[in-house]
Amino acid sequence: MSRGQKRLYKGQVSLNNLRPIRSFVHSDHSSNPTIIVTKGKVVLVAIVWLLLFGIGVAVWRLVIFPARTQQQEEQAKEQVARDVAKTSGTSRYLHELQLGLDSFSGYAVLRSEEFRKQLADRGIRIKNIDDGANYAKRAADLEQGSLQFAAFPIDALLKTFSKMDYPAATIVAIIDETRGADAMVAYKSKFPDVDRLNQPDVRFVLVGDSPSETLARVVMQDFDLDRLGANSIETMHSPEELMARYRAAAPTTNDVYVTWEPYVSQILGNDQLHVLVDSSRFTGYIVDSLVVSRDYLLKNGPVVESVLEAYFTALYAYRDDQALIQLLLQDAKQTKQELTQEQAQRLVAGIQWKNTQENFAHFGKRAGAVVHIEDMLTRIAGVLSKSGSISESSVNEKFNRYFFDRPIENLQSRNFHPGLASEAVRVEAKLKALSDAEWDRLVTVGTLSVPELVFLRGSSNLSDQSKRTLDDLFQKLQAWPQYYLIIRGNASQAGDMQANIQLAEQRGQAALKYLLSLGIPSERMRVVTGEITGQTRVTFVVGQMPF
């Protein structure tokens, strides 16, 4: 052992040597990268596998298992369907259709058990969809194909479809025409006749977009009411709202109520009110039609004809008034309306349901004193245009685009008849000839809106312009067949009074003779000497016999 070294006994360790050993051990344990990386990989791999396992479990539970279960259920259902099909009978229904309408009593035949029976015999089942007279929705449903058929007032159809380049539906039959079920009612003391309505503060209270609005528009167009205000029509949302307005009003009110049965009868229960005009006095304006989707018609023409056959056959079963009254009473219960026996009788008197032969005539397939559907559309469009409900350009349209006469024509060519008894085309009741005393008792309804006739100075010869004016008046008189016409020759104050009165009489006679040449019956017209008004002119006043 060299100098300076100490002897180490067994079991002893030099303190000087311990420090390097500790350093070595520490360094070896904490800085080995291989060991750290290996453990990190193991942990990461374990986490990834756990995630993958979790995703797999989730995919299984949320996707694979439900899909497999659904597939098994579908297979089971298909098997059930096959088993049911193998053990089921043959359905009598080949066609399932939907028809849009509302609770109007004129559509009672469409809701009748007889119609369902006739359809079933032809392999057709129709479900009625009541939209509460929402014509815009009805039109949209036809366009989208959720409805195949619909009942449509012609005025509502023009308002809805005239805005479209391609009307989604077309008329294939006329259902009914209102001839008295709609009326304009007012207090007698306030408005004794239509002429008294010519005031700026008058309000026509009615349900908007209803046939009653058409009645009001026709009166505003055809009578001399040039002083009415711009907001003369006040629309209600429902007849119930209109009735509430009437009940709250005083006899001095400026309101005029335009509504339909049974509300007309309810108002007339108050004998202070009376009917100014009702729809029995004109023709060809308030008309309901049966329309079909053009798409369905193009694909299923024979089915459309079968539906028409079923409808006309069902209508034939109710051809007697008593049968119709009972139908309306039953229909009122079905549609949850209140209808008395008397009100049902009024409805039957105020609605003309159009039979097979009348439809042939309306579509020009046989003779008959009815308005052709094309002329009907033109007439109604004229009223709507003047009221601003449709554009003026719509009046110049070809109105044959709104109806299709082939199904009716095919029914006629097959000699279709709904029953054994004959059907007839109703003829408009002719006005009887009146005695002088009866002419004197005639109740004035109102003065027609007719441009002033033009004559040469001091002459009673009609100018060409005056003849055109009388041609238009002829059309107006055709639309109001139940009114007598008083032709008044009014005299000027200037010059010889007797000569002026005589000239006024002669001009009135010239107008009468021209109207006679057009076809207005002589018993319907009379010339009277009018008032001294300051100018020699002819006015036209309609009247009716007192009730």
Residue 496 is predicted with a pLDDT of: 67
In this prediction, residues 110-123 reach a mean pLDDT of 97
Contact 106, 288 (CB under 8 A): yes
State yes or no: pLDDT of 429 exceeds 90.
no
Q: Which residues contact 450 (CB under 8 A, 6 or more apart)?
A: 224, 469, 472, 473, 476, 539, 540
Q: Do domains 95-179+284-331+343-367+390-413 and 436-544 have the same CATH topology?
A: no
Residue with structure tokens 């009468």? Answer: 512
Query: What values do phi and psi take at 275, rounded to 5?
Result: -85, 120
pLDDT band at residue 544 under the 50/70/90 scheme = very high
pLDDT above 70 for 492: no
Mean pLDDT to the nearest integer, 209-228: 91
Outline where DSSP puts E strands in 145-217. Answer: 149-153, 169-178, 182-187, 203-207
Question: Does position 11 have pLDDT exceeding 80, yes or no?
Answer: no
Q: Residue 299's pLDDT band (boundaries 50, 70, 90)? A: very high
What pLDDT was estimated at residue 202? 97
Pairwise CA distance, residues 157 & 150, whole Å: 11
% of the chain exceeding 90 in pLDDT: 59
Average pLDDT (422-446) is 92
Q: Which residue has the tokens 């000839």?
A: 433
Give the percent of the chain with pLDDT over 70. 90
Burial of 467 from C-beta contacts in 10 A (0-12 / 13-18 / 19+): middle
CATH topology of domain 436-544: 60s Ribosomal Protein L30; Chain: A; (3.30.1330)
Q: What is the pLDDT of residue 216?
A: 94
Indicate the pLDDT class of residue 252, thresholds 50, 70 and 90.
Answer: very high
Q: Which pLDDT tens digit goes with each residue over 39-81?
A: 777 888 888 888 888 887 887 778 788 888 888 888 888 888 8
Decide yes or no: CATH 3.40.630.30 for domain 95-179+284-331+343-367+390-413.
no
The predicted pLDDT at position 491 comes to 63
Judged against a pLDDT cut of 90, whether residue 273 lies above it is answered with yes
Domain boundaries, the chain: 29-85, 95-179+284-331+343-367+390-413, 182-278, 436-544
The one-letter code for the residue type at 284 is G
- Residue 37 has what pLDDT? 61
Could you tell me which residue, 284 or 7, shows the higher pLDDT?
284
Flag the least confident range among 238-252, 290-304, 332-346: 332-346
CA proximity to 211, closest of 280, 263, 111, 285 = 285
The pLDDT assigned to 24 comes to 40
CB 182 within 8 A of CB 352: no
Q: Are 488 and 530 in contact (CB under 8 A)?
A: yes
Q: How far is CA 527 from CA 431, 484, 488, 512, in A?
A: 17, 11, 6, 7
Q: Which stretch of 283-292, 488-497, 515-524 has the lowest confidence by average pLDDT? A: 488-497
pLDDT at position 25 over 50? no
Options 3.30.565.10, 3.40.190.10, 3.40.1190.20, 3.50.50.60; CATH for 182-278 is 3.40.190.10
pLDDT at position 28 is 47
Would residue 388 be called left, alpha or beta, if left means φ above 0 and alpha means ψ between -120 and 50 degrees? left
Mean pLDDT of the chain: 87
pLDDT value of position 19 = 43
* pLDDT for 27: 44
pLDDT of residue 18: 42
- Checking if the pLDDT of 245 tops 60, the result is yes
The residues facing 170 across adjacent strands are 292
Q: Which tens digit of pLDDT belongs to each residue from 254-271?
A: 999 999 888 998 999 999
Task: Enumerate the β-bridge partners of residue 463.
Answer: none
pLDDT band at 495 (very low <50, low <70, confident <90, very high): low
- DSSP string spanning 221-246? HHB--TT--TT-EEEESSHHHHHHHH
